[in-house]
Structure 1
Amino acid sequence: MSASRDRILAAAKANKPEELPLPEVPLFGGDATAERFTTVLAGIGGTVVWLDGLESLAPTVQQLFPEAQNTASALFRGTVPVDAQTPTGILAAIDLAVLQGEIGVAENGAIWLPEANMLHRALPTITQHLALVLDRRRLVATMHQAYAQLPGTGGYGKFVAGPSKTADIEQSLVIGAHGARSLVVLLY
């Protein structure tokens, strides 16, 4: 049986097809404006709020989320310190996470959030409310353009688009079942 196996493997190795280059993916144009991003995000349940600058971040967050008692952020002093080792029991009590988004996609309202900006991998999902801060100069029109900017950005990250939503076969919509109940994008 070993000789048969060796013959089969040798035949497979000898008959490798020649390598072909990957096809070129066309870059599609599109509207990368803040207006388009805002419209699409609103359509999927998110909200855009304009900041005058990063110095207005903390007061704006306080105004938008006055009831948030347990907040986590690397952008201003939150009430709960969070890092990669924070137990999930502590994370589950966080009302609001304010994190830095890196790329916004106008065609679908998604924001790229690399692991380095999450404080903890579970935080953007387990928090009750999520606020992502995004530089308007980092808006792109399409997912193709967003992915073109991602190589070498680390081992983990995710695109976040709107609050968590799910529905059953009876079409009962539930917001926040699998993630944050609300998403606010703070553009500056």
Structure 2
Amino acid sequence: MSTSSRDRILAATQANKPAETLLPTVPDFGGEATPERFTAVLTSIGGTVVWLDGLAQLGPTLQQIFPDARNTASPLFPAAIPVDALTPNDILADIDLAVLTCEIGVAENGAIWLPEANMLHRALPTITQHLVLVLDHRRIVATMHQAYAQLPSMGGYGKFVAGPSKTADIEQSLVIGAHGARSLVVLLY
């Protein structure tokens, strides 16, 4: 029986397969997993951190920070605009305040992990004018390595958000809200 070209190629590939290499152990780079460190870093990149004594303060705090917000979207309170994964983008474009829960805060860079299950719609955290993320302060980790170690248990799609959207690509002129929300407020409780 003759051997096909395909079989010869597969056999040669199998014969020349390199030995399996184990992944290196990533050291714990340490750092501070404190709300103070997280707050300092997030503030330095344009975000705002506000402490809540409890989630019962959510409504009054939002009213104080965003008194003019009319088109709101959130799973945490009765919002003005109901949003789900099928909400059209033209409706999302009218939302001026989205309030969502997040899962992990990273002290070293002020990033916050927002899984798709908490977004209501994939585009909402990017298309809203102002984004508020609610985070349990006990979910702050020191480094991205520690955050990434938790991601497999968080489901599929998600994104790290760090500060409001900004760019200075054009004539080195800073533009806030160019590619996403104009402001980011993290409510820690």
Q: TM-score range by the shorter chain?
A: over 0.9
AA matched with 1:177: A
Residue 121 of structure 1 aligns with an amino acid whose one-letter code is R
Q: Which moved more, 1:146-155 or 1:125-134?
A: 146-155
Alignment-mate amino acid for residue 70 of structure 1: N
TM-score, normalised by the number of residues in structure 2: 0.95
Identical amino acids, percent of aligned pairs = 80
Which residue matches 1:127? 128
Equivalent residue number for residue 159 of structure 2: 158
- Counterparts of 1:104-183 in structure 2, within 5 Å, are 104-168=105-169, 170-183=171-184
Give the Cα–Cα distance (whole angstroms) in 2 for the partners of residues 128 and 62 of structure 1: 16
Q: Partner residue of 1:65?
A: 66
Alpha-carbon distance in 2 for matches of 1:104, 1:61: 20
Number of residue equivalences: 187
Unpaired segments of 5 or more residues in structure 1? none
Secondary structure of 1:150's counterpart equals helix
Distance in structure 1 (CA, Å) of the matches to 2:148 and 2:9: 40
Letter in 2 for 1:16: K
Give me the whole-angstrom Cα distance separating, in 2, the residues matched to 1:169 and 1:95. 26
Once the two structures are TM-superposed, the CA of residue 3 in structure 1 deviates from its matched residue by: 4.6
Which runs of 5 or more structure 2 residues have no equivalent in the other structure?
none
Matched AA of 1:108: N
Question: In the alignment, residue 115 of structure 1 is paired with which amino acid?
Answer: E
1:56 lines up with 2:57 in the alignment: yes
Residue type at the aligned position of 1:76: F
Q: Distance in 2 between matches of 1:41 and 1:104?
A: 10
Q: CA deviation at 1:104?
A: 0.4
Give the C-alpha shift of residue 139 in structure 1: 0.6
Q: 2:42 is matched with which residue?
A: 41
RMSD: 1.3
Q: Offset at 1:152?
A: 2.8
Task: Note the C-alpha offset of 1:170.
Answer: 2.4
Q: Which moved more, 1:165-174 or 1:152-161?
A: 165-174
Given residue 104 of structure 1, which amino acid in structure 2 is its aligned partner? G
Aligned partners of 1:8 and 1:50: how far apart in 2? 62
Question: Could you tell me how far apart the structure 2 residues matched to 1:130 and 1:23 are?
Answer: 38
Mark the CA change 1:72 to 1:169 in structure 2 (over 3 Å): closer, same or farther: closer
Query: 1:32 & 1:3 partners in 2: Cα distance?
Result: 59
TM-score computed with the length of structure 1 as normaliser: 0.95
